[in-house]
DNA sequence: CGCCTTTCCTAGGACTCCTAGGAATATACA
DNA sequence: TGTATATTCCTAGGAGTCCTAGGAAAGGCG
């Protein structure tokens, strides 16, 4: 009998596909072994435990999404870049819900440093070049972008927008418009720094 | 031998405390039974299954957080209301990480309708009265607020802000400033509607 | 006091995670 | 080519969780 040809890479890839199909919490060592035609105990020469399996999915997803983000960003600047990147982010989450969920697991510091997490914040900083923000505002803006993207996608995935006629796509477009305006009118120092409104 | 006095309410409360202590994924029927001094099989006269246990924690948390939000909102308007509500939200998540995580599980439509989820969006709409937005902009703005709050808290909880000197509190304050400015300068119609920047 | 409902029990099956130790297969090197 | 070594995969089994079935004790009610 030939060997099944299990490698860590193929394992992570299969786990990611499984996660997209049935949800991350159903990504189990046993089920994965079943898909490779192998006994579950055999997988423990490749992975430490079930948790590490999910971590590998997270790392895989971070890298994939970073690639998509980079492709979306290429040749764009300003609001164009912002929208393209945001759509890449949301599109990936729609296409790969399990991988996206996996991205939310907390990585230990070493794994986090070896992951593509840094590329993500670097790309957001690249977007912000179109808005000329100095530190520490740049860091704050990166966190605003990350929070808004992740928050929207997360709520959408949890079905939070289903119970209302207004479509999620329209809201998403409006949120991006608003982010663009907010970044251009970034509050300069303490409190308010703008005109209009509040009679 | 007297009975243990298990009720659905005490069960949900204990599950919520357990979730805050050890994380939602470790909230198990067996562990809960152990804490009540009862065999695990005994709990199935009170709950349908393990998943429903987590759903009950979610419903409990939604109600608690709605109460806090309402208290924070009382007597405030405009940016004051925005900041107070946002801080209530973030504070609850910090205080009750397990409950907060539970809030993210997807509820079936009936449960969702019976939950305090509606109160949450109502309160956000109340905040927006200080910014005079008509539909559908109001719905979009509610989604922006929800996304930003949840996204920030979620990333913070996942340790996403630890690897940078800039404190999360400062960024949070800045994010709220920015939201306030964004709501006051809400982009009126198609695309841009503002001055400044983009040379 | 006897009846009925609810709560809790024992028993057990199915599944997952993971370890230990051994067998089979591929690879490297003489 | 043949043999040593490393890796992959196996069987066996323990521990833990989820959940069902059916029965026994505890409390409430006529």
Residue B82 burial by Cβ neighbours in a 10 Å radius (0-12, 13-18, 19+): buried
CA nearest B91: which of B169, B185, B12, B191? B169
B88-120 pLDDT per residue, tens:
999 999 999 999 999 999 999 999 999 999 999
Does the distance separating the beta carbons of A152 and B143 come in below 8 Å? Answer: yes
Q: A152: nearest CA in chain B? A: B147
Provide the 10 A C-beta neighbour count for residue A136: 15
Does the distance separating the beta carbons of B106 and A158 come in below 8 Å? Answer: yes
A32-48 pLDDT per residue, tens:
999 999 999 999 999 99
A71-109 pLDDT per residue, tens:
999 999 999 999 999 999 999 999 999 999 999 999 999
Mean pLDDT score across all residues of chain B: 92
Query: Which 3 state secondary structure label does DSSP give A41?
Result: helix
Residue A63 reports pLDDT greater than 90: yes
The pLDDT of residue A145: 98
Which CATH class name applies to B8-184?
Answer: mainly alpha
The pLDDT of residue B1: 56
Closest in B135, B181, B194 to A187, CB measured? B181
The pLDDT of residue B191: 42
B54-80 pLDDT per residue, tens:
999 999 999 999 999 999 999 999 999
Residue A8 reports pLDDT greater than 70: yes
The pLDDT of residue A77: 96
Residue A199 reports pLDDT greater than 90: no
Does the distance separating the beta carbons of B175 and A143 come in below 8 Å? Answer: yes
Residue B163 reports pLDDT greater than 70: yes
pLDDT band at residue B124, thresholds of 50, 70 and 90? Answer: very high
How many residues are given for chain A?
199
The pLDDT of residue B160: 87
Mean pLDDT score across all residues of chain A: 93
Q: Which residue has the tokens 């993210």?
A: B104
pLDDT band at residue B193, thresholds of 50, 70 and 90? Answer: very low
Output A132-140 pairs: Cβ under 8 A, ≥24 positions apart.
A132/B197, A133/A183, A133/A186, A135/B166, A136/B166, A136/B170, A136/B171, A137/A186, A137/B174, A139/B164, A139/B166, A139/B171, A140/B166, A140/B170, A140/B171, A140/B174, A140/B175, A140/B178
The pLDDT of residue B190: 53
> Could you give the count of Cα atoms lying within 13 Å of A189 in the half-sphere of its Cβ?
0
Closest in A106, A136, A171 to B158, CB measured? A106
Distance from CA of A19 to the nearest CA of B (A): 16
Residue A134 reports pLDDT greater than 50: yes
Rounded CA gap, A63 and A161, in Å?
Answer: 28
What token pair was written down for A156?
Answer: 């959408």
Task: Spell out the residues 6+ positions from residue B155 whose beta carbon is closer than 8 angstroms to its own.
Answer: A143, A146, A147, A150, B161
A106-131 pLDDT per residue, tens:
999 999 999 999 999 999 999 999 99
The pLDDT of residue B136: 94
Rounded CA gap, B126 and B20, in Å?
Answer: 30
The pLDDT of residue A1: 56
The fold adopted by the segment(s) A8-36+45-184 is: Tetracycline Repressor; domain 2 (1.10.357)
Domain boundaries, chain B: 8-184
Q: Which residues of B touch A182 (CB under 8 A)?
A: 178-179, 181-182, 185
A183-193 pLDDT per residue, tens:
999 987 654 43
CA nearest A116: which of A52, A65, A47? A65
pLDDT band at residue A5, thresholds of 50, 70 and 90? Answer: confident
The pLDDT of residue B76: 97
């Amino acid at each position: 009998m030939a060997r099944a040809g299990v490698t860590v890479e193929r394992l992570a890839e299969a786990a990611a596909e499984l996660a997209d199909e049935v949800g991350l919490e159903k990504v189990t060592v046993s089920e994965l072994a079943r898909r490779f035609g192998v006994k579950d105990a055999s997988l423990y020469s490749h992975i430490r435990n079930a948790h590490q399996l999910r971590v590998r999915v997270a790392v895989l997803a971070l890298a994939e999404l970073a690639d998509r983000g980079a492709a979306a960003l290429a040749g764009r600047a300003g609001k164009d870049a912002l929208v393209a990147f945001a759509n890449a982010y949301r599109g990936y989450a729609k296409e790969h819900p399990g991988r996206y969920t996996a991205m939310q697991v907390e990585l230990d510091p070493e794994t986090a440093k070896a992951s593509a997490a840094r590329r993500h914040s670097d790309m957001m900083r690249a977007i912000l070049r179109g808005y000329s923000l100095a530190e520490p505002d740049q860091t704050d803006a990166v966190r605003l972008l990350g929070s808004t993207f992740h928050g929207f996608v997360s709520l959408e995935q949890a079905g939070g927008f289903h119970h209302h006629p207004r479509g999620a796509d329209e809201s998403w477009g409006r949120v991006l418009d608003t982010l663009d305006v907010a970044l251009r009118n970034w509050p300069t120092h303490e409190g308010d720094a703008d005109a209009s409104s509040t009679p």
